[in-house]
Amino acid sequence: MRCSDRLKPAPLKSQRGFTLIEVMTASLILSGLIVAIGSGWVVADRETSALITRQKAIFVADAEMERLTTLYGTTTFGVTGAASTTGYTEIAAFPSTRLTYPAGLGSWLSGSDDFTVTAVNYFTNSGSDFQVWVNSNIVSSLNRAYVWVDYDHNVAGRISWTVSSISPSCSDSDGCSCMNYSGLLAGTCHKLTFYLEYPYRVVSGNPVAGSPLQTITLSTIVGRHT
């Protein structure tokens, strides 16, 4: 073998890296995946938050229904206690005329149990109790009643209810015998339908309806039994 052959460099193996187009394409795909995952987390977090708020609203609605059942069943509240209000037009399927709490319940409950507060252009609370805020207007039929659903997240709910006669009327045989609301023997039971609309955001002391507005409805039978 000649000396020149030993000094001749060995041929290089073919090497190939990523082209610029391939790197850019991979970057775009990776960016899309990151954005999709991030969007999914945002949607999941929003849905979870909405479910938690709804659960809290259901708890509040249950508590208010319990109060109303007690008022109608043990006091004369069913005679002239509830205040008639009108002008509810947000959801056409629900009645436009409904009942709410009056400015105070001192005539039916002791002072320490009077949980209603009349509010004129303000809405405040510690969030630790279930006070009802009656937003007073010039025309009393336009008054509205609100409760806190989630004080920490500034979510309030508007409450109201309707009372209607049961048809056919109940009798002793079906376990629904009621006195009238004055406490006398002759009386009838009624169907009470309760509405809690949320979310309302409190802005400068005034409840402002959120969008979309959700409504929780509960129904029960009420009547004077003591």
**Residue-range domain boundaries for the chain:** 55-222
* Residue labelled with tokens 């809290």: 56
Q: Give me the residues of the chain with pLDDT under 50, please.
A: none
CA–CA separation, 77 and 72 (whole Å): 6
pLDDT of residue 49: 84
pLDDT of residue 100: 94
Q: Rounded to whole angstroms, how far apart are CA atoms 69 and 171?
A: 19
3-state secondary structure 64-131: HHHHHHHHHHHCCHHHHCCEEECCCCCCCCCCCCEEECCCCCCCCCCHHHCCEEEECCCCCCCCCCCC
C-alpha span between 13 and 32 (Å, rounded): 37
Question: Tens digits of per-residue pLDDT, 47-80?
Answer: 778 888 999 999 999 999 999 998 988 888 888 8
pLDDT for the residue 124: 74
What dihedral angle (degrees, nearest 10) is formed by the CA atoms of 159, 77, 116, 87? Answer: 40
Cβ pair 205, 212 in contact under 8 A:
no
Q: Given this model, what pLDDT does residue 48 score? A: 75
**10 Å Cβ neighbour count for 17?**
6
The pLDDT of residue 194 is: 97
pLDDT at 168: 59
> Which residues, 6+ apart, have CB-to-CB distance to 143 below 8 Å?
83, 85, 100, 134, 135, 136, 137
- How far apart are the C-alpha atoms of 83 and 80, rounded to whole Å? 8
